[in-house]
Amino acid sequence: MRIHLTDTTASRINKALVRARRAIGSPAVGVVLTMVIVTDEENAHDSLKAAEQASQEHPSRILVVVKRPDRTPHRRTDSRIDAEVRVGSDAGSGEAVLLRLHGEVSGHADSVVLPLLLPDAPVVVWWPVDAPATPAWDPLGALAQRRITDAYAVERPLRQLAARVASYAPGDTDLAWTRLTPWRSMLAAALDQARARVTSAVIESEADNPSAELLAGWFADRLRVPVERVVTAGPVITAVRLRTEHGDIVVDRPEGAVASLSIPGQPTRALALKVRTTAELIAEELRRLDPDEAYAAALRAEVKAPPAAPAPTGPSSHEQRRNA
């Protein structure tokens, strides 16, 4: 069921939600959190769709905030709130409200959202594209227990990660880190089997991949080893190599959903390692709302490159030719 409201208020939106639930015979029981999505018009549809799919696992009230401030200095946009209320099959397993904030009210999104939050329930704020410089200090971010950004979705992802180091606060996370969960699980299991000391690591990925940078930080923090990066055509991370005294542990996924795992002294095996959808990443983040200390450590770790190869100690090529 969908209800469209023009030039409305938070009170009318709440009444519309109650009216819609009664109409379909669906009380707001079982909704476990409020998810606030702050995005632009271009990305609103895909972001809402991903959140609705994630709500199959985590029933939520989804609030999509689309800001439309004044664009020209000489033409003032009327300050108003337009809303689209979705309940039932049109809103996944919960309920959704698409808020379009026009004019001056776009600068006070927190005042619009606050009355629409579920009482006594966690709040998660997700910026699919352009996140504030300091998410925890943002008026909407300050309402949340969990703040989700995505460095992969911006034009300069590595610069975004560098900014996150300075602005990090408990509760912050990034989907570039969430994408690493299968890789980290597989590599940790491989190390348990190999039982060998890692001396260095190599990460192969497309250029400027934020997940590769965070994985390098994780290695630096947990293994205390230098990390080398190799640029490939992608997509995303294509291979990881952990060098040990007994040989290399290698996870290789050049393309597709299947990776090969090689451990010294064991046969190579094939394992599932697909590139997950945004909905799957959001669903994972909603499973735990406590501070992600591993992400914080990987974000702040100082990654060292492996030492350069030593200069040759034998005769130079000129001496070799002269002595020939």
**Containing structural domain, residue 221:** 181-275
Decide which of 175, 191, 207 is a domain's last residue. Answer: 175
pTM reported for the whole predicted model:
0.88
Question: Angle, nearest 10°, between helix axes 293-300 and 157-167?
Answer: 110
Check pLDDT > 50 for residue 52.
yes
Decide which of 141, 175, 209 is a domain's last residue. Answer: 175
170 and 26, same domain (yes or no)? yes
26 and 156, same domain (yes or no)? yes
Three-class SS state of 302: coil
Position with higher pLDDT, 249 vs 316? 249
Check pLDDT > 60 for residue 320.
no
In a domain, 164, yes or no: yes
Q: What is the pLDDT of residue 111?
A: 94
Task: Return mean pLDDT, the chain.
Answer: 87
Spatial separation of the C-alpha atoms in residues 183 and 190, rounded to whole Å? 11
62 and 113, same domain (yes or no)? yes
Decide which of 125, 155, 175 is a domain's last residue. Answer: 175
103 and 26, same domain (yes or no)? yes
When divided into structural domains, the chain yields a total of: 2
In a domain, 134, yes or no: yes
What average pLDDT score do residues 142-158 get?
A: 93
268 and 209, same domain (yes or no)? yes
Residue 73's pLDDT band, with cuts at 50, 70 and 90, is low
In a domain, 11, yes or no: yes
In a domain, 302, yes or no: no
In a domain, 150, yes or no: yes
- Tens-place pLDDT, residues 277-295: 999 999 999 998 999 999 9
Alpha helices in the chain (DSSP H): 10-24, 41-54, 109-113, 157-167, 175-178, 181-194, 210-222, 278-285, 293-300, 317-323
Q: Is 290 exposed, middle or buried (0-12, 13-18, 19+ CB in 10 A)?
A: exposed
Residue 173 φ then ψ, to 5°: -155, 170
Three-class SS state of 97: strand
191 and 150, same domain (yes or no)? no
In a domain, 83, yes or no: yes
What average pLDDT score do residues 96-119 get?
A: 93
Please state, for a pLDDT cut of 70, what percent of the chain lies above it: 89
36 and 124, same domain (yes or no)? yes
136 and 190, same domain (yes or no)? no
In a domain, 301, yes or no: no
108 and 242, same domain (yes or no)? no
63 and 163, same domain (yes or no)? yes
Check pLDDT > 50 for residue 268.
yes
26 and 121, same domain (yes or no)? yes
Three-class SS state of 14: helix
18 and 52, same domain (yes or no)? yes
Residue 70's pLDDT band, with cuts at 50, 70 and 90, is low
In a domain, 241, yes or no: yes
